[in-house]
Amino acid sequence: MLLITKRLILRPLELTDALYFEEQLGDDLEALRQMAQMPVPCTEEAARDWIASRVGPEASVFGILRRSDTGFIGVVGFGGDARMPEMGYWIGRAYRGNGYATEAILRVVERAAELGVPRIHADTFLDNPASARVLAKAGFTVTGTVERMFPQRGGRRELHRHKRVPGS
| CATH for 88 | 3.40.630.30
Residue 16 is predicted with a pLDDT of: 95
In the three-class reduction of DSSP (H, G, I as helix; E, B as strand; rest coil), residue 123 is classed as: strand
pTM over 0.85: yes
**Domain enclosing residue 100, as ranges:** 3-118
Is 134 among the domain residues?
A: no
Residue 37 is predicted with a pLDDT of: 74
Residue 153 is predicted with a pLDDT of: 67
Intervals of the chain under pLDDT 70: 36, 152-153
Is 84 among the domain residues?
A: yes
> Would you say 132 and 162 are in contact if contact means Cβ atoms under 8 Å apart?
yes
Cα angle 145, 151, 156; round to 5: 30
Domains in the chain: how many in total?
1
Is 69 among the domain residues?
A: yes
Is 145 among the domain residues?
A: no
Residue 154 is predicted with a pLDDT of: 73
Q: CA–CA separation, 126 vs 87, rounded Å?
A: 17
Residue 81 is predicted with a pLDDT of: 86
Is 76 among the domain residues?
A: yes
Is 163 among the domain residues?
A: no
119 CB contacts (<8 Å, ≥6 apart)? 83, 84, 163, 164, 165, 166
Q: CA–CA separation, 75 vs 66, rounded Å?
A: 12
Is 129 among the domain residues?
A: no
Residue 134 is predicted with a pLDDT of: 97
